[in-house]
Structures are given as structure tokens and as C-alpha cells.
Chains A and B, each alone.
Chain A
Amino acid sequence: MGKSILIVDDSSIMRKMIKTTLQSAGHEVVGEAKNGDDAVTLYKTLRPDLVTMDITMRGMDGFEAARQILQDDGAARIIFLSNLDETQYSQEAEQIGAMGYLNKHRSKEILTLIERI
């Protein structure tokens, strides 16, 4: 069954690509945010099943946004999709309470992880 997903990424092209990937697998994209502040605000309004979060964004970054979302809703499910070096940042992601950390261009792995969650 498809999940309702909030996409957070400062690149409009990236949001489009992720949305296409998710929709092709039957998930519903309920919102899109281009920075951490918008992500926190939209999460409170939409309460999606899952959030895909970029890390480096202008303004509030993904890690800080994830912390605030998890502070507000401890049961929030967040997966980080990033270009940054996985070995360096996946530990940080885990410590924050994210459910996963993947390269944002690996569509199959992203969908597999979402199915598992």
C-alpha cells in the first residue's frame, strides 16, 4: 500500500525526480518543501507517513529540520537522501533518529527502504 510522503529538497529538479520515482511505485507525494523551515511547518500541517530529507539546504539544513520534526513528533519517520559522503554522515543521521540514509540518485534502494519502513 502506498505511503503519504513529504519531499524536502532545495533543488526543484531533485524534488521532481524523487516525486516521479515515488509516484511510479504507488506512493502519494502530499507536499514539497525547499528548506528546513518549510519542512517543519509542512510536517505539522500534513503529518505524512514519511519524510525524505535532503541535508544541505539554504537556510535550515536537513539535520536541524529532522531534529525539530522529531521533537514535535517522536514517531516521525524520516529518511535522508543526500549526495554527501555516506560514511561520514550516516552515523549522524542515525543518532538523530532517522530511519535511513541513502544517496538520492539510487531510486531502487530508496523504494526498497520505503517499502521496509
Chain B
Amino acid sequence: MYSRRQEVTPVVTQVIQTMKKAFDNTEATSQTASGVPSGKVGRIKHLFLWCFLAITLVVSGVAAGLLIELGCGPDWLAQIHPDKSATVQAALRWRMALSVVTIVAAAGGIFLFLNSRIAAPLEKTERITGQMVEGYLGGTLSSRPTNEIGRIGESINGLAVNFQEMLILVWNQTDNAINRLRRITGRMHPDGEQRVSGEMMAELQSAHQDLETMRMMVRSFDLYDVTIAEDNGLTAKGAAKTLN
């Protein structure tokens, strides 16, 4: 006799493998069109999804088993309701089907809720902080936190703002220092007002170079709302930021 289990097992295995392949993409990284890394796809969302699928499978399996049992007309039912067993069976099937649908819908709702409140914000936080690590400070997390994850996002925003402020301070102060050095070295040029040893001149040029190196590091960051113009001045970024 051909076993039903032998028929079903390969199909179930195939389905599980296909779902696993579709969901197991946590190693994938991607970039936006501008080349900014957009982070990895979330494992937590997949965890919630697997929980939802597991609940659905378990409930569906139990319901299927009970329906099959009811379909065969169990003895215990005939003993309890000898006159109405067929009617009771039908009513029980309906109620069971409704219960399964309700439980699956509730599980789906819980998955969507957890995804929107936990998984999605965490994914965005991971993405934005990943961008900041790469020097892109333009990302912003929700500024109206409703829970701990939101407050973490707000703190990260604050860190990015303070860090940018520091970078701008470095930029401006090195600008001032370089201009002073130029004026000093201009006066100390062999043809200038005051003669100075070659060693001193080399020291001054070295200091100038150190400052340029610091400015080069600042330039390697992509700031949130400010851009470094051709003349090394700072201007607000983008058309919307012309501040008119």
C-alpha cells in the first residue's frame, strides 16, 4: 500500500527549503543608488515571521487532525449526542474552522505589530548607524520616540549632530590656523620682512601640512546639512536649504 507519508514528505521538505532560501538572506548587503551602504536585511523580522508560520502550521495541523477525526465520525461523539451527532459534527467543524482562522489572523496581526514596532525600527537604526560608520552623516532616525528603540534613535541623531559640530569646528579652526601660518611664512620668506632659518621654515611648512591632513579627514565625511564649497567656506546643502 502506498504510504501517504511517502507522498507528503518530499513536498513538505521542498516547501521548507524554498521558504528557508527565500528568508535566509541575512548575508546580503546592498547599496543605494548614491553608493551609500544600506545595511543587511533583518534577522529579527525573519524570526517574527518564522514564529508566525510556526503558529500557523501547528494550529493548522491540529485543526486538520481534528477535522479528519470528526469526518470519520468518532465513537465518543455518537455516545455523547446519539441523536444529533451529524448536526453537532457540522457545528464543530464550523467552529473549528473559525477558530483556526481567528488564531492565524491574530498571529498575523501580532507579527505585523512586532515588525512595525521592533523589527522595522531596529533595521533602520542598523542601516543608519552603518552609514555613519562609513562617514555618511546624512541619515536621520525618528525624532518622535515612543519607546526605547525610538529613544536610542534619538540619541544616535544627537551623537551624529555633535560629531558633525566637532568636524565643522576642526574645519574652521584649521582654516584660521592655516591662514595665520601663511601670513607668518609670508613675512618670513627669504625676501620677506624677517629672515628665518631653513629649519624653522620646514617646521612651519610641516605644521601647515598637518593642518591640511586634518582638513582632508573632514572632507572625507558627508555632512548632514552642510557642504564644503570650492572656496572652503561652509554652505547649507541642497536647493531646499537655500534658506529663503
Contact = CB atoms under 8 A, between A and B. Distances in A.
A88 to B, nearest CB: 6
Given A10-B161, A14-B165, A105-B172, A56 B233 contact: no
B133 interface: no
A83 B173 CA distance: 11
B92 interface: no
B243 interface: yes
A85 B235 contact: yes
B236 A58 contact: no
Given A56-B226, A103-B172, A84 B165 contact: no
Chain A interface bracket (under 10, 10 to 19, 20 to 34, 35 or more) = 20 to 34
A74 interface: no
| Chain B: interface size category | 20 to 34
Contacts of B172: 83, 103, 105
B244 A92 contact: yes
Contacts of A107: none
A63 interface: yes
A23 interface: no
Interface string B188-229: 000000000000000000000000000000000000111001
A114 interface: no
B243 A55 contact: yes
A55 B226 CA distance: 11
Given A14-B165, A58-B161, A105-B172, A83 B243 contact: no
5 contacts: A11-B161, A56-B236, A61-B236, A88-B233, A103-B172
Interface of A: 10-14, 35, 55-59, 61, 63-64, 83-85, 87-89, 92, 103, 105
